Amino acid sequence: MQDRARADKLWHRVAVLCAVAIAFGAVAALTRGREPRPLKEAAPDGFALLLRDPALQAALAGIEAAEPALLDDQVAFTEIPAPPFGEEARAARLKQVFEALRLRNVRIDAVGNVIGERPGLAPRPNLVVAAHLDTVFPEGTRVKVTREGPVLRAPGIADDGRGLAVLVGVARALERGGVCTPGTITFVANVGEEGLGDLRGMKHLFGHELHGRVDAFVSIDGTGHGITNVAVGSRRYRVTFTGPGGHSFGAFGTVNPAHALGRAVAAVADFAVPHAPKVTFNVGRVGGGTSVNAIPEATWFEIDLRSADEAALASIDARFKDAVERAVRRENARWAAGRIDVAVELVGNRPAGRTSEDSPIVKTALAVSRALGLPASLGEGSTDANVPIALGIPAITVGGGGHSSGAHTLAESFDSTDSWKGTARVTALVFALAR
Least gap, CB of 260 to Zn ion (angstroms): 36
Number of residues that bind Zn ion (CB under 5 A): 3
Positive or negative, the CA dihedral 384, 63, 2, 372 is positive
Q: Which stretch binds Zn ion (CB under 5 A): 77-85, 201-209, 213-221, 285-293?
A: 213-221
Nearer Cβ to Zn ion (67/160): 160
Q: What share of the chain is helix, strand, coil (3-state, %, to 5)?
A: 40, 25, 35
159 binds Zn ion (CB under 5 A): yes
Nearer Cβ to Zn ion (156/296): 156
CA distances from 422 to 13, 224, 225, 250 (A): 15, 7, 7, 66
Q: Which stretch binds Zn ion (CB under 5 A): 160-168, 173-181, 203-211, 319-327?
A: 160-168
Instruction: Output phi, psi for 45, to 5 deg.
Output: -70, -40
State which of positions 178-207 bind Zn ion (CB under 5 A).
none
| Coil vs helix vs strand at 417 | coil
Nearer Cβ to Zn ion (7/407): 407
Nearer Cβ to Zn ion (120/233): 233
What lies within 8 Å, CB to CB, of 406 at 6+ separation is 412, 413
Least gap, CB of 310 to Zn ion (angstroms): 22
**Other CB atoms within 10 A of residue 392 CB:** 10
317 binds Zn ion (CB under 5 A): no
Nearer Cβ to Zn ion (320/414): 414
**Interior CA angle at 422 toward 31 and 168, to 5°?**
70
Q: Is there a cis peptide before residue 160, judged by omega within 30 degrees of 0?
A: yes
Q: Is there a cis peptide before residue 155, judged by omega within 30 degrees of 0?
A: no
Q: Which one of residues 67, 160, 309, 331 is an interface residue with Zn ion (CB under 5 A)? A: 160
Least gap, CB of 193 to Zn ion (angstroms): 6
Least gap, CB of 307 to Zn ion (angstroms): 20
Nearer Cβ to Zn ion (383/423): 383
The Cα–Cα gap between 330 and 255 comes to 10
What lies within 8 Å, CB to CB, of 156 at 6+ separation is 78, 82, 135, 136, 137, 143, 412
Nearer Cβ to Zn ion (73/159): 159
Q: Where are the beta strands (DSSP E) in 289-394?
A: 294-295, 298-307, 341-350, 353-354, 378-381
Least gap, CB of 412 to Zn ion (angstroms): 11
117 binds Zn ion (CB under 5 A): no
Least gap, CB of 418 to Zn ion (angstroms): 21
Least gap, CB of 131 to Zn ion (angstroms): 8
Q: Which DSSP state fits 28?
A: G
87 binds Zn ion (CB under 5 A): no
Least gap, CB of 125 to Zn ion (angstroms): 26
221 binds Zn ion (CB under 5 A): yes
Q: Is there a cis peptide before residue 84, judged by omega within 30 degrees of 0?
A: no
67 binds Zn ion (CB under 5 A): no
Least gap, CB of 301 to Zn ion (angstroms): 26
Nearer Cβ to Zn ion (192/394): 192
Q: Which stretch binds Zn ion (CB under 5 A): 155-163, 175-183, 274-282, 398-406?
A: 155-163
Nearer Cβ to Zn ion (131/374): 131
73 binds Zn ion (CB under 5 A): no
Contact present, 205 and 188 (Cβ < 8 Å) = yes
| Coil vs helix vs strand at 354 | strand
What lies within 8 Å, CB to CB, of 357 at 6+ separation is 229, 378
| Site residues (vs Zn ion, CB under 5 A) | 159-160, 221
